[in-house]
Homo-oligomer: A and B are copies of this chain.
Amino acid sequence: MTDAFSAAAEPTRRRILQLLAASPRTVNEIAAEFTSTRSAISQHLLLLAAVGLVEAEKVGRNRIYRVQPDGLRRLQAEIDRFWTHELDLLVADAHTLAASRPTSHSATDKDSR
């Protein structure tokens, strides 16, 4: 697991990143948002730190984790590189198709979201 894309894709880590983006937190504060143990969350945090998506600041006996903006920018670059021109065109096609065929299954599917 060396790339930020794969690291950020895991559902638990996605939530962690969103929590930390809202505001930096300690490990216990983060773990309080989940049902699994603090150890599990700590390991997720260490992984996120290993790929440079978060960083920790030790203050007293606490470790305050925060998102690392530069790592986040790398993640965005990875996603952008994946989201090639062709993919973009296909999505655009999906939009126009959904607009022109409002009664198709894709349109109802869109409503349910």
Residues of A whose CB lies within 8 Å of any CB of B are 3, 5-6, 8-11, 14, 17-18, 21-22, 67, 69-70, 72-74, 76-77, 79, 82-84, 86-87, 90-91, 93-95, 97-98, 106, 109-110, 113
Q: A10 touching B6 by the CB < 8 A rule?
A: yes
Q: B18 near A87 (CB under 8 angstroms)?
A: yes
CB distance from A6 to the nearest CB of B (A): 5
**Given the known A-B contacts A11-B3, A11-B6, A113-B74, are A91 and B69 also in contact in the complex, defined by CB atoms under 8 Å?**
yes
**Does B86 contact A73, Cβ atoms closer than 8 Å?**
no
Known: A69-B94, A70-B98. 13 other contacts (CB 8 A): A5-B9, A5-B14, A6-B9, A14-B82, A17-B82, A18-B84, A21-B90, A67-B87, A67-B90, A69-B91, A73-B91, A73-B95, A76-B83
Copies in the complex: 2
- Residues of chain B with a CB closer than 8 A to A110's CB: 70
Given the contacts A9-B6, A106-B70, A22 and B86 also touching, CB distance less than 8 Å: yes
A76 to B110, CA, bound (A): 13
What are 13 sample pairs from A and B whose C-beta atoms fall under 8 A apart?
A5-B14, A6-B11, A8-B82, A14-B82, A18-B82, A18-B87, A21-B86, A22-B84, A22-B86, A70-B94, A72-B90, A73-B91, A74-B113
